[in-house]
Structure 1
Amino acid sequence: MALQVRVAGTGKYLPGQQITDEQMDAQLQLRPGWVRKKTNVITRHFIDNETASEMGAKAAERALAEADLTFADIDCLVCASGTMEQPIPCTASLIQRAMGQEDSGVPSFDINSTCLSFVAALDVMSYMIHAGRYARVLVVSTEVASKGLNWEQKESAALFGDGAAAAVIERSAPDAASRILSASMKTYSSGARYSEIRGGGSAKHASEYSKSTEADFLFDMNGEAIFRMASRLLPDFLKDLMTASGASIKDYQVVIPHQGSAMAMRLLRRKLGISEEQLMYITPDHGNTIAASIPMGLHEAIRQGRIRRGERVLLLGTSAGFSLGGIDLVY
C-alpha cells in the first residue's frame, strides 16, 4: 500500500576529527596503501569530545532548517541508531535534551535494527503518520563506531566512521507525487553471530568486563560470511520489493545503499544490475557509519542535485541479525 508520506528535509553532521587512510594504516600497523586498497575508505571522521546525542542534535537542527520548520512543529522524535550513547535512557531522549527541548514533552524513543535502523524507523513511522497519530516525525541516526572497534580485526576496523544524519517526514498532499510506494524487511537469524558485540547487555553484563574478556565488548564481524549470505539473499529480496510496487531497477533515479564496504558496493552493482550512474556511493569520504549511512546518502543525493521532487529512489541495505531491508519511494 502506497503511503502519502514524504521526506520534508534532511541534515548531516560529521565530527571534526578526520582520519585518513594513511593514518589508519599506521594505527593498524599495516603497509602504506593497505586500507585504501582493501576498503576504499580514504577519509573517515571520529569523535573527539562529542557525544552521539550532540551529533544527532546538530543533524536534527539542520534537517529542521532544511524543511523550514522548528522543533515546535515536530510531534515525535525517533533515534534510529545501531549504537547507544548509554544503555538507559534511550538516545532519543538525550538528543531531545541536547536540542534544548527537555521540557517539550515531545515523545522520544529509539528504533534499533543496527545498520537498517533508519530504514526500519522510516517504515514504521510512515504508518504512524498515515494513520494520523503524528503529523511530523524527526528521525535521527547518530553513530559512534570508533569507540567499539576491535583493532585486532584490521579489515573491519578500517571500514568505520562516526557521524549523524536526520530526516523530517510528514504527510504529503493528496495530489503530490511524493510518497512511499513499498517497503520490506526480512531477518534470517541463522546469521545473527556474523556481526555482534556480545558484552554490555544482560548476557554479559558490563560488570564482567576484564582484560581477558575485552574482545566480547568490542565489535566482532565475519565479513566473508555476511558477504556470502547477502550475495545469496539480496537478488530475490529486491525482486520481491520491486514486484510489490511494479518497478524495475531502471525506474530508480538513485539507489542509496547502506555503505557497508567497497566489496558490498561491488556486490550490489554486479548482482542487482545497478548502474554506476544510479549508485549513491559515499564510502570513500565517510566510511561505514552504520545506520547513519543511508540517510547520509539520501542527504548527499539531494544536496548534489542527483534527485529532485517527483523522482524515484531506492533505499537498500543489510544489517546485523542478519536482516535485509529496503524502501521504494518517490522523493
Structure 2
Amino acid sequence: MDLQQIHQSGQCFRMVPLPEHTYPSGTKNGYRLISGLRVLRAWQDGPFVCLDCPHEDLSFWLSYLDMDRDYQAVIASIDRENTYLRAAAMSGTGIRILRQDPWEMIITFVISQQKTIPNIRQLVEALSSRYGTLLEDRQNRGSGEVREKDEVREKEGARREGAALEESLPPAFSFPAPSQLCLASLEDLMGLKLGYRAKYIHRLCQDAVSGRLDLSHLAALNYEEAMEYLTGFYGIGKKVANCVCLFGLHHIDAFPVDTWIEKILMEQYFDRKKYRRIPKNRLCETIVEDVFGRYSGCAGIMQQYIFYYERSVRQGRE
C-alpha cells in the first residue's frame, strides 16, 4: 500500500497531508483521513503503513483500506500484450480502492463535474466545516503497522502528544449527513461557489431526507441495479453513478469514464477500423467493454491504475 499513490488517484478528497514535524521516526507521507465520525492518521514506513486510531476502530480502517484484497493477484491477471495497462499497474502497485461512505461519494462526485481535484477538495471541506460535526482529533490512542494483508503490529513512535498536531492542522469535521446538509438553502450552497451543482445538491438532500433516495436500499443493490437507481436522480449521470458505485459501494466492476480516462481510451485503445460504425456516444463504453471487460471483479482497479499513471506519472515526466 502506498498512501501517496492513493492520495493522487482521484478517489478520496478527505486525505489531508500531515505536517512533516508530526511524522514518527523513519516514516514519510503522512495523512489524516476522515470517514463518518472516525479519524485516522497514517504514515508510510517503507512497505508498511503505520495507522493511528482507537483500537476499537482498527477493524473498520482495515476494511476501509481494502486490506483483504490480493492486489498482486490483480496485477498478475493483466494480459501481457496490454503493455500500457501493465506499465500503469506497475507504476501504481500501492493503490487501493477505499471503502468510502456512499452519501459522501454522491455529493463529492456531483461536485467533481468540471472541477479540478484541488477545487473538489476545497469544496468538500467547505461543506464539512460549515455543516458537518466537529470531531475529536487527538493522538492519545493505539497505533499499528500494516503489512500486505491485515497483519497489525504496535509501532513504537507512532504515539505522539495531540496538542502539537492539533495546532498544525485545521479542525476535523465529518462530512455532513443528509439531515445536516439539508439545512443549507440553495442560496447558501450558491454562496460556496458550487455553481450549477448547488441545485443538484439541494435536490439530492431533499430526496435523501424524504427517503426517496434510500441509502440503505442503495447499499443492498448490485452494480447494475445501483447504476439504474442512481441515474434516476437529478444531477447524477453515468460518470457520477459509476464513481459512487466504485468508491462508495465497492462495486469493483464499475469503470468511471472522465476526461482523463476518455483521453487514455482514445490514445491507447482506439482502432479506427474496428470502431468505425460505433456511435460517438457509445464509443468509450464499447472500448471499455472490449479492453477491460475481461477483468471481471477488478475493472475498477484497472481504471485507477491508468488514471494514476496518466495523471501522476506520464504527465509528470512530460
Bin of the TM-score, shorter chain as denominator length = under 0.3
TM-score by length of 2: 0.26
Higher RCO, 1 or 2 (CA under 8 Å, sep at least 6)?
1
More strand by share: 1
TM-score normalised by structure 1 residue count: 0.25
Which protein is bigger by CA-based radius of gyration? Answer: 2
Structure having the higher helix fraction is 2
